[in-house]
Structure 1
Amino acid sequence: MALKIEMLRCFAAVARTGKLSEAALQLNRTPSAVSMMLKQLEEHLGEPLFKTDRKNRLTALGSFALEQAERELYQFDSTVHAIESFANAQHGHVRVAAVPSVAATVLPRAITEFLNRFPGVQIELRDMDSTTILHELSRGRVDIGIATAGLSASTLHCEDLLSDQFGLICSAHHPLANLDQDLTWEMISQHPFIANNLSRVITAPAFQRLHSGATLSVHNITSLLAMVRAELGVTILPEMALKTVSSEDFVFTPLPESPPERQIHLLRNADSPASPAARELESQIFATVSEFEMEKAL
Structure 2
Amino acid sequence: MALKIEMLRGFATVARSGNLSDAAQVLGRTPSAVSMMLKQLETHLGEPLFETDRKSKLTALGAFVLEQAERELQQFDNMVRAIEGFAKATHGHVRIATVPSVAGTIIPQVFSRHINDYVNVDIELRDMDSHSILHELSRDRIDIGIATLGQQGAGLSSQHLLSDTFGVICAPSHELADSTGPVTWEALADERLIANSLSAGISAAASVALHDRAMLSAHNLTSILGMVQANIGITILPEMAVRASNSAGLVFRPLMEPHAKREIHMLRRADSNQSPAARLLERHILQIAKEISRDTVMRHP
Q: How does 1:1-298 map to 2 (within 5 A)?
A: 1-179=1-179, 183-296=183-296, 297=298
The whole-number CA distance in structure 1 between the counterparts of 2:64 and 2:2 is: 19
Scaled by the length of structure 1, what TM-score is found? 0.91
The whole-number CA distance in structure 2 between the counterparts of 1:223 and 1:119 is: 36
**Distance change >3 Å, CA 248–CA 24, structure 1 → 2:** closer
The whole-number CA distance in structure 2 between the counterparts of 1:115 and 1:182 is: 38
Q: Which amino acid aligns with 2:163?
A: S
Q: Tell me how large the CA RMSD over aligned residues is.
A: 2.2
Q: CA deviation at 1:289?
A: 1.9
Q: Which amino acid aligns with 2:274?
A: A
The whole-number CA distance in structure 1 between the counterparts of 2:167 and 2:181 is: 15
User: Is the CA contact 1:115–1:121 (under 8 Å) kept in the aligned structure 2?
Assistant: no
The whole-number CA distance in structure 2 between the counterparts of 1:260 and 1:274 is: 33
- Post-superposition CA distance 1:94-134 (Å, at most 9, x none): 23222122222222111111113443334332222111222
- Post-superposition CA distance 1:71-96 (Å, at most 9, x none): 10111011111211222222233232
Percentage of identical aligned residues: 58
User: Is the CA contact 1:170–1:234 (under 8 Å) kept in the aligned structure 2?
Assistant: yes
Q: CA deviation at 1:3?
A: 0.9
Q: CA deviation at 1:5?
A: 0.4
The whole-number CA distance in structure 1 between the counterparts of 2:210 and 2:89 is: 49
The whole-number CA distance in structure 2 between the counterparts of 1:193 and 1:163 is: 23
Q: Which amino acid aligns with 1:213?
A: R
* Runs of 4+ deviating beyond 6 Å: none
Q: Which amino acid aligns with 1:196?
A: N
User: Is the CA contact 2:14–2:23 (under 8 Å) kept in the aligned structure 1?
Assistant: yes
The whole-number CA distance in structure 2 between the counterparts of 1:283 and 1:198 is: 27
The whole-number CA distance in structure 2 between the counterparts of 1:99 and 1:15 is: 58
The whole-number CA distance in structure 2 between the counterparts of 1:110 and 1:80 is: 28
The whole-number CA distance in structure 2 between the counterparts of 1:119 and 1:64 is: 37
The whole-number CA distance in structure 1 between the counterparts of 2:181 and 2:91 is: 55
Q: Which amino acid aligns with 2:2?
A: A
**Distance change >3 Å, CA 167–CA 271, structure 1 → 2:** same
User: Is the CA contact 1:148–1:262 (under 8 Å) kept in the aligned structure 2?
Assistant: yes
- Post-superposition CA distance 1:241-263 (Å, at most 9, x none): 22124455322233243224211
Q: CA deviation at 1:30?
A: 1.4
SS of the counterpart of 1:277? helix
- Unaligned 5+ segments in structure 1 are none
- Post-superposition CA distance 1:15-74 (Å, at most 9, x none): 222222221111111122112211111121122212222222222111111110111011
Q: CA deviation at 1:214?
A: 2.3
Moved more, 156-165 or 230-239: 230-239
- Post-superposition CA distance 1:168-214 (Å, at most 9, x none): 22222223333489744343231222221112332111211222332
SS of the counterpart of 2:161? strand
User: Is the CA contact 2:162–2:293 (under 8 Å) kept in the aligned structure 1?
Assistant: no
